[in-house]
Amino acid sequence: MRFINTNGYKPKDWHKEQQLKQTALRGCVNKAARTAFFNVANNKTWNRHKEYFEKLSHGKCWFSEANATVSDYAIEHFRPKNKVDIIASKDDYAEKRISSDVNGYWWLAYELDNLRLAAYKPNQLKANYFPLRNDSIIASANNNSWKKEIPMLLDPCVMNDVGLLTYEGVEPVPSNSDDTTIDHIRARISIKVYGLTHGKLKKARSRTYEEAKNYYRTCERNWEVIQNYDGVNAEAYQLALENFSDNCSNLVEMLRPDKQFTRMILAFLTSMNKQWINDYILQIASNRKYI
């Protein structure tokens, strides 16, 4: 998961359209009427944001960092618009809600700050889950205090949140290993709810991970040759230097924002704890604003 900065996105006429839809929604007499309203194709206007949202993530799902075809993307309502299910079926965390909310956050259906881009599987698995910390408030349509809620799901649009999830190999894990902390629990819940251990997703990550390991192993071998043959064998030294440089460049490229699973690659490289990785890969990637 990488940080997605949506600041500055103000599509033309959206505020006016949002107000019209919100007014129409508030005119619906009950949940059934709101559901019928949402099911009308002309009312699914949040889909107009797909193209721009894809550009923000270089065509990747905001939750999984995986590529998907255009048809596989969905506009995800971070706070579900139809209903909210409690998290007990996924995790034993004692969230604020003690029962499902059959109405959901219907009044945020057209709120830009509530929209995310998700591939099919994360969108399907997240569904109507939106657990809140057990000391959070619960917003309602009447007080509209949703920005004061304390979500338990990690949000790709919150910079601090994306750092709470890392990888051990291809497995997503909480960055904080202390399972009593909120940071750990939030990451744990998010991994489950977003389906980040789903089989096809892990297979795709595995292919990328193996590619990175191959580049790393080649770099490591050539780095040793460089150290051993410096001033001893100019030809062997130069060949190793060229191979090392090429493969370091390949690893830098794997950290580019438009590449898949960059956070997994970053975790892998960091875990190797090699000075040459920091000097010839991470520093360059940082200078290029890849990481």
The answer on 41 and 147 residing in a single domain is yes
Distances (CA, A) of 87 to 57, 99, 155: 28, 10, 17
Same domain, 137 and 223: no
Q: What is the pLDDT of residue 267?
A: 98
pLDDT in tens, 173-191: 999 999 999 999 999 999 9
Shared domain for 227 and 122, answered yes or no, is no
Is residue 190 included in any domain, yes or no? no
Residue 8: band (very low, low, confident or very high) from pLDDT cuts 50, 70, 90: confident
Three-state DSSP class for residue 118:
strand
208 and 145 belong to one structural domain: no
161 lies in some domain: no
Task: State the average pLDDT over residues 193-219.
Answer: 96
Label residue 170 by pLDDT band (50, 70, 90): very high
The number of domains in the chain is: 2
Report, in angstroms and rounded to the nearest whole number, the Rg of the chain calculated over CA atoms. 23
Q: What is the mean pLDDT of residues 107-131?
A: 94
Residue 73: pLDDT band (50, 70, 90) is confident
> Looking at the structure, do residues 80 and 18 belong to the same domain, yes or no?
yes
Q: What share of the chain is helix, strand, coil (3-state, %, to 5)?
A: 50, 10, 40
Q: What is the mean pLDDT of the chain?
A: 94
Which DSSP category does 115 fall into?
Answer: E
Q: Which domain holds residue 260?
A: 199-287
| CA–CA gap between residue 43 and residue 36 (Å, rounded) | 10
pLDDT digits (tens, 9 = 90+) for 134-149: 999 999 998 889 999 9
134 and 208 both lie in a single domain = no
- Note the pLDDT of residue 71: 58
What pLDDT, on a 0 to 100 scale, did the predictor assign at position 70?
56
Question: Which of these three, 118, 153, 188, is where a domain ends?
Answer: 153
Question: Is 52 part of a structural domain of the chain?
Answer: yes
Q: 159 in a domain, yes or no? A: no
Indicate whether 131 and 63 sit together in one domain.
Answer: yes
Same domain, 131 and 233: no
The per-residue pLDDT for 201 is: 92
Q: Is the residue at 191 inside a domain?
A: no
Is residue 54 domain-shared with residue 120, that is, in the same domain? yes
pLDDT at 214 over 70: yes
Task: Indicate the pTM of the whole model.
Answer: 0.92
Does a structural domain hold residue 63?
yes
Same domain, 116 and 223: no
Please state, in angstroms and rounded to a whole number, the distance separating the CA atoms of residues 287 and 212: 20
Note whether residue 275 is domain-resident. Answer: yes
Q: Is residue 207 part of a domain?
A: yes
Distance (Å, rounded) from C-alpha 68 to C-alpha 86? Answer: 29
Mean pLDDT of 208-223: 97
Q: Which of 153, 183, 212 is the last residue of a domain?
A: 153
- What pLDDT is recorded for position 168? 97
> Do residues 118 and 27 both lie within one domain?
yes
